[in-house]
Amino acid sequence: MSTALGDRHENYLNVDSSVKSWLLTTDHKRIAILYLLAATLFFLVGSVFAGLIRLNLMTPYGDLVQAETYNKLFTMHGITMIFFFLIPSIPAVLGNFLIPMMIGAKDVAFPRLNLLSWYVYILGGTFTLVAATLGGVDTGWTFYAPYSTVYANTNVIVTALGIFITGFSSILTGLNFIVTIHKLRAPGMKWSRLPLFVWAHYATSLIMVLGTPVIAITLLLVALERGLHLGIFDPALGGDPILFQDLFWFYSHPAVYIMILPSMGVVSELIACFSRKRIFGYEFVAASSLAIAILGFLVWGHHMFVSGQSVYAGMVFSLLSFLVAIPSAIKVFNWTATMYKGSIAYDAPMLYAMGFIGLFTIGGLTGLFLATLGADVHVHDTYFVIAHFHYIMVGGAMMGYLGGIHFWWPKMSGRLYPEAWSRAAGLILFVGFNLTFFPQFILGFLGMPRRYHVYPPEFQVLNVMSSAGATILGVGYLIPLIYLLWSLRYGPPAGPNPWGAKGLEWETPSPPPTQNFEKTPIVTEEAYAYAPTEAEVG
């Protein structure tokens, strides 16, 4: 791969092509590539589980799998996609690659720790894949006690330890980013000049650092309760399983923002570049990332409206959950205002960014339904919830991830991908996604509960639509996989800045040299200082 890419100048890919040089690298760009490969693998594994779920739901009678198998399928789908794909995806791949370059640094603050975090991630992933091989786990990705601690007969301990271990990878990445952004900015790179991608990752890192340790201790306690009979959540000893839910969601709700905030950072970059305008309300977009990170820690109880939590707590959590809509809406409005009277180019990354805005808006607004106490009682644990969070995680986070991968692919690989194919893939994804998940809003509203392998026959039409959409979605994911690999060998050379974009990462050759820059850049202007559009008009 590297020899085909780097025949023009010495860069991070062709500097040494031995396997050992990859496995022992401390270069943030190479570590990003390692993460890209591993995350893609986990995405494929998670997709297989999703495919089997949709295949089973083609008919109402559970013709493909039995209830036990089905429980394992949705559990393993959730665990792989959330902990091993979505959470590391943008931060560990694009964040690792770009943050040091965007702030004009040679590397992250702790390069060896960065490599360690990849190995920790792989170790945790191995645990989980081993658990899957041994027969999987059936608790749901939520591991609710006392089912997980006492009654489940599946591989809870191995899986929980896998997630526990992988959590440290997330913690170390967040720690590395925080210190890097604080201490390694190039001269002149003031906080007010940071790209919004970096602001979004700063907010994400705060959540990783503050939230992940809590899920770590929670899952460790589950493992200890199963393995050593400590009884912290055991009702027989006076323990309270609802406290498990409190601790679980204290991390797992903010974890949603670990998935979506980096994606929002990507979208800010894309919208500014392809509208050829400074982002509208830079300060507000930056601050809204922090606001989402902070408010995200105060809303976990909206997952527990029907769990036995006190009604008064429910009311407060409901109110606080509505507040998250404010910074989210600030972002959406500011992106739209950026596009207003912009010189918009509909290149593939921009299509993904616009797809993100639309799908995230639907996902966000339906979140308000769920934050409403009364409405939530009706749609709780139905497909309405499934559709809502897939609009955020797949429609939002995944669209942003793919948009970012396309946008920075020329920088990472030094090659251009085929534009027509990638636009087509973006449209196929958009159609496939909506066909998969919009029917699930209706199914949920009509009362189809989640996590069942059978359903009443009257729901079949909508379920078949959803499964058909999933097939289209699968094709939409497969096409980029093929042409991106193809472009590594056959794509035309990209040059340092194929998009005419602003940002330090575009001022260095593609692929970048190991040290990122010939000499440390000095920053003299704000981010997104796109020239007025006269050049394009005249």
Does residue 171 touch another protein according to CB under 8 A? yes
As to burial, measured by CB atoms within 10 angstroms (0-12 exposed, 13-18 middle, 19+ buried), residue 79 is: buried
CB environment 254-270: b (16+ within 10 A), e (fewer): bbbbbbbbbbbbbbbbb
Q: Using the minimum distance from each CB to another protein, give the nearer residue, 171 or 359.
A: 171
Rounded to 5 degrees, what are φ and ψ at 356? -55, -50
The nearest distance, CB 515 to another protein, in angstroms, is 8
The nearest distance, CB 310 to another protein, in angstroms, is 13
Does residue 4 touch another protein according to CB under 8 A? no
Which 186-215 residues touch another protein, going by CB under 8 A?
Answer: 209-214
Q: Contact at 8 Å (CB) between 172 and 261?
A: no
Q: Using the minimum distance from each CB to another protein, give the nearer residue, 113 or 454.
A: 113
DSSP 8-state symbol, 300: G
Tokens in use for 310?
């006190």
Does residue 529 touch another protein according to CB under 8 A? no
Distances from the Cα of 487 to the Cα of 163, 167, 510, angstroms? 34, 34, 14
Binding mask 55-84 for another protein (x = CB under 8 A): ------------------------------
The nearest distance, CB 252 to another protein, in angstroms, is 13
Among 84-92, 154-162, 224-232, 370-378, the segment contacting another protein (CB under 8 A) = 224-232
Rounded to whole angstroms, the Cα distance separating 500 from 190 reads 23
Which 92-111 residues touch another protein, going by CB under 8 A?
Answer: 105-111
The nearest distance, CB 377 to another protein, in angstroms, is 26
Does residue 243 touch another protein according to CB under 8 A? yes
Does residue 217 touch another protein according to CB under 8 A? yes
Which 252-271 residues touch another protein, going by CB under 8 A?
Answer: none
Q: Using the minimum distance from each CB to another protein, give the nearer residue, 223 or 271.
A: 223
Among 51, 60, 62, 231, binds another protein (CB under 8 A): 231
The nearest distance, CB 441 to another protein, in angstroms, is 35
Does residue 216 touch another protein according to CB under 8 A? yes
Q: Using the minimum distance from each CB to another protein, give the nearer residue, 103 or 435.
A: 103
CB neighbourhood size of 468 (10 A): 16
- The one-letter code for the residue type at 2 is S
Mention every residue, 6+ apart, whose C-beta is less than 8 A from residue 332.
357, 360, 361, 364
Q: Using the minimum distance from each CB to another protein, give the nearer residue, 236 or 420.
A: 236
Q: Where are the beta strands (DSSP E) in 404-462?
A: none
Among 68-76, 234-242, 317-325, 338-346, the segment contacting another protein (CB under 8 A) = 234-242
Does residue 358 touch another protein according to CB under 8 A? no
Q: Using the minimum distance from each CB to another protein, give the nearer residue, 44 or 230.
A: 230
Q: Where are the beta strands (DSSP E) in 112-239?
A: none
Which 494-523 residues touch another protein, going by CB under 8 A?
Answer: 520
Does residue 236 touch another protein according to CB under 8 A? yes
Among 16, 68, 240, 507, binds another protein (CB under 8 A): 240
Among 5, 94, 175, 194, binds another protein (CB under 8 A): 175
Does residue 223 touch another protein according to CB under 8 A? no
The nearest distance, CB 260 to another protein, in angstroms, is 21
Does residue 319 touch another protein according to CB under 8 A? no
Please compute, for residue 491, the number of CA atoms within 13 A of its CA located in the half-sphere on the CB side.
28
Does residue 237 touch another protein according to CB under 8 A? yes
Q: Identify the residue whose tokens are 């990122």.
A: 516
Q: Using the minimum distance from each CB to another protein, give the nearer residue, 239 or 355.
A: 239
Q: Contact at 8 Å (CB) between 300 and 239?
A: no
CB environment 382-400: b (16+ within 10 A), e (fewer): bbbbbbbbbbbbbbbbbbb
Residue in 209, 180, 207, 208 with CA at minimum distance from that of residue 194? 180
Does residue 239 touch another protein according to CB under 8 A? yes
Which 116-155 residues touch another protein, going by CB under 8 A?
Answer: none
Q: What is the full DSSP assignment across 451-517?
A: S-S---GGGHHHHHHHHHHHHHHHHHHHHHHHHHHHHHHHSPB--S-TT---SGGGGS-SSPPTTSS
Rounded to 5 degrees, what are φ and ψ at 415? -125, 150
Q: Contact at 8 Å (CB) between 395 and 362?
A: yes
The nearest distance, CB 299 to another protein, in angstroms, is 17
Instruction: Name the residues that contact another protein, by CB under 8 A.
Output: 105-111, 171, 175-176, 178-179, 182-184, 209-214, 216-218, 221, 224-225, 228-232, 234, 236-240, 243, 247, 250, 520
